Amino acid sequence: MSEGLPKVAAKTPAVLEVQPGTCYWCTCGLSGKQPFCDGAHKGSGMVPLKVEVAEAATKAFCLCKQTKTPPYCDGSHCAL
């Protein structure tokens, strides 16, 4: 993986029920806990995205890492 370019973790979103609070979305694609960060980005030149969840909801998190609306899926995986 080139520095600054994320790995495609999957070509489908992770649809999850989330609760209010803070989470960190993996931007590098290397985390073993997709779509969330587990620290695997260290040395990649990338950092996770802090996400504040205001209320419980079902969200589609991007796993292809190509979304224009991070951390949420915008359908970019369809073009891969």
Q: What confidence tens digit (pLDDT) does each residue in 30-72 have?
A: 999 999 999 999 998 999 999 999 999 999 999 999 999 999 9
Other residues' Cβ atoms within 10 Å of the Cβ of residue 21: 10
Residues 6 or more apart in contact with residue 15 via CB below 8 angstroms: 58, 59, 60, 61
Report which DSSP code applies to 72.
Answer: B
Question: Could you tell me the residue ranges of all domains in the chain?
Answer: 14-79
Contact 31, 40 (CB under 8 A): yes
Residues 6 or more apart in contact with residue 38 via CB below 8 angstroms: 26, 31, 32
Residue 49 is encoded by which pair of tokens?
């995205």
Question: What pTM does this model have?
Answer: 0.91
